Amino acid sequence: MANELKPCPCDIGDRFDYGGRGQEVQVEHIQAYICKPSVSTDKAVIVIHDIFGWQLPNTRYITDMLATNGYIAVCPDFFVGQEAWKLSNDWASFDDWLKTRNASKIDKEVDVILKYLKEQCGAKKIGAIGFCWGGAAVQHLMLKNPHLKTGVSLYGVIKFFEDRFSLLHPTFFIFAEKDEVIPLDQVTLLEQKLKQNCKVDYEVKIYPGQTHGFVHRKREDINPQDKPYIEEGRKDMINWLNKYL
């Protein structure tokens, strides 16, 4: 079970030594990292970062991976200039830190990014993926935003989820079997409520032996035993986007 002293026991995992292939841009009041594919496309993905923020190299690696797979990929700073969580922070202050960073209060920023993607990048079909905090944000957007086509929530913290389950768009939920912050009974309950309330396609998948953050915060070369699941999670994410965008 979750350690109460660490309400979101997200260690950084393996911090990638990765510079990025994209560029930083200013979109109205938001800074963002964007990477575009080598050929033009009208498909885009908004990448919603975890508590470590939009500049985490791991998240930029996934953003670039989406571009390699043919998507305009953009990772905005959804903390809008507020500091990302740092491992040196006192976990006792996490709840206070979180109060000004609510995963369900990103609609204004998403609207700005959607406008940018449509008007500046030529995007017509847009989805969203998110990790941890960002995974909860994806659940919020799939419940509310009519302009997105699909979403992938990667180990979205269920206790941050809204207590609604009538998703508007096809949504894929990725969870880890040994996630300290998301007990499997919460995942089971989520599945039950989706089955009762959801009218669109969805999938909930649990990856054996994995821990929180495995898709973007574990390196295959450091964790060879986890490599098949890291690769499977990334492939599943891309396949879901390919299916619905």
To the query of whether residue 132 is one of the catalytic residues in this protein, the response is yes
To the query of whether residue 179 is one of the catalytic residues in this protein, the response is yes
Catalytic site residue from 50, 77, 179, 236: 179
Catalytic site residue from 35, 212, 216, 226: 212
Question: Torsions phi, psi of 192, nearest 5?
Answer: -65, -45
Catalytic site residue from 10, 75, 132, 216: 132
Contact between 174 and 207 under an 8 Å Cβ cutoff? The reply is yes
- The position carrying tokens 């930083």 is 24
| Cα 81 to Cα 55, 91, 201, 206, distances in angstroms | 11, 21, 35, 34
Long-range contacts of 63-66 (CB under 8 A, 24+ apart): 63/20, 63/22, 63/33, 63/34, 63/35, 64/20, 64/21, 64/22, 64/35, 65/234, 65/238, 66/35, 66/129, 66/238, 66/241
- For residue 25, the cross-strand partners are 32
Eight-class DSSP state of 83: P
What are the catalytic residues?
A: 132, 179, 212
